Amino acid sequence: MNQLIFDISVWLDDTAWSTAIHESYYLYNWIESTHVITLMLSLGILFLIDLRMLGWALPNVPATRLAERLNTPMLIGFIVMFITGILLFYAVPVRSSQSLWFRIKMVLLVVCAVNAYLFHRRMTQSMTTWENEPRAPSSLRKGAMISLAFWTVIVLCGRFIAYDWYDCEYPQPDLVRALAGCIDGQTRF
């Protein structure tokens, strides 16, 4: 699997658009800045909703009203963040695909997507019974805590990608090399 990911990454890296983004004086920085700004927007809103579910923020605001007003800007932020994240990967695919932090981030993004789906489904099913209460039911509070914890780790992993202590070009323990996707004799940065 690591070899396949490496080969696809090398193929992406050899495209003109990947090189253009990475070597552009401004474009990569604009994409990264947009990614961070939309991350702040969407996660700020998500954290506010999660904190409302836990009863730690805006306990007097009905949960449905909060969700109705904040869902659209949050989703727009997530869409732009997702697109810019793909472009950031596309600009530096080999290094990104061989990053332990990037791989942890991708796994946690899938977990967060599943959690968000389940959370939204549970919330809409039970909204009428608790929406004016200061705290959500226990199952929703657990989902909110999972969301807060995992998104925090995702942001940290995103920052660690730039300062990767586990680069494949340096000697690493076998477990780290396997998890990071290092291919023996085939580093390309």
Whole-number pLDDT of residue 93:
94
Q: Is residue 91 part of a domain?
A: yes
Residue 136 belongs to domain spanning: 2-180
User: pTM value?
Assistant: 0.87
Cβ contacts of 22 within 8 Å, gap of 6 or more: 28, 91, 92
Supply the mean pLDDT for the chain. Answer: 90
Does any domain span residue 83?
yes
The predicted-structure confidence for 25-51, as pLDDT tens digits, reads as follows 899 999 999 999 999 999 999 999 999
Given a cut of 70, is residue 189 above it in pLDDT? Answer: no
Whether 185 is covered by a domain: the verdict is no
In angstroms and rounded to an integer, the radius of gyration of the C-alpha atoms of the chain is 19
User: Structure tokens of 184?
Assistant: 């023996």
How many domains, in total, are found in the chain? 1
First to last CA, the chain: 20
Please write the tens of the pLDDT for every residue from 89-140. Answer: 999 999 999 999 999 999 999 999 999 999 888 887 877 778 788 888 888 8
- The Cα 159–Cα 162 span in angstroms is 6
